[in-house]
Amino acid sequence: MADSLYLSLWYPNLRLAGLAEKLTQVLGAFGAHGGVSRVYAATVWPVSWSETAVFQRVWGRGERGAEPKQAVEEALELLHDDYAYEFQIGWSLWEHETGGGLDPRWVREERLVRVTGYGPLFDEGAYEQDGHIRVDFGSDAPFLEEGVELDSVAAHKVEENVRQLVELTAAVEKGSGATARLLWSELGESLAQRLAARLGMGN
């Protein structure tokens, strides 16, 4: 069963004024680790997720996208303790494609990842649990491919996806100076344990 995968990052004594630099560093890591170098869109949420966004800008994919520094500066002009700042950026993974009458094949599919920076008072201090910055990778399916027979090709593609995730996670942590990180899922199951069980079944 597919689950949503997140990475939470915490920083020591992070002041709101320092959030822009951390967000720029996190977004900047994607280009070197399977993603694009430009930001697709930004949204600013006041108070809680149930409120209406106070800012939204879609730059577009590829060259139309905004440089991370530009996107962050524009969104964080509205700097408030109780706001959250969400950015979308492209990241490509191997996925098993079926349908359309074609033979099943492996293709690199770009997905939009959400990178959110939290003001300390947003959603009653959600950053304490979610991190000063949270990366939402979306479905964890490409890291497990539970509906696919795990032959040598499939195992290699899954392992490549996992390696890319590990490298991005390490680069984000080191590049932004995070002192704590947590890779977690919505259902609370460990990706590492599920992956070990999945690869074990394929042997």
Per-residue pLDDT tens over the stretch 128-186: 999 999 999 999 999 988 888 888 999 999 999 999 999 999 999 999 999 999 999 88
pLDDT at 137: 96
Instruction: Determine the pLDDT at residue 62.
Output: 85
Those residues of the chain that have pLDDT short of 50 are: 202-203
Q: What is the pLDDT of residue 203?
A: 44
What does the pLDDT read at residue 1? 63
Distance CA 139, CA 135 (A): 12
CA distance to 36, 37, 66, 67, per residue, from 63 (Å):
10, 9, 8, 9
What DSSP designation does 67 have? P
3-state SS, residue 77: coil
Token pair in block for residue 130: 């979610």
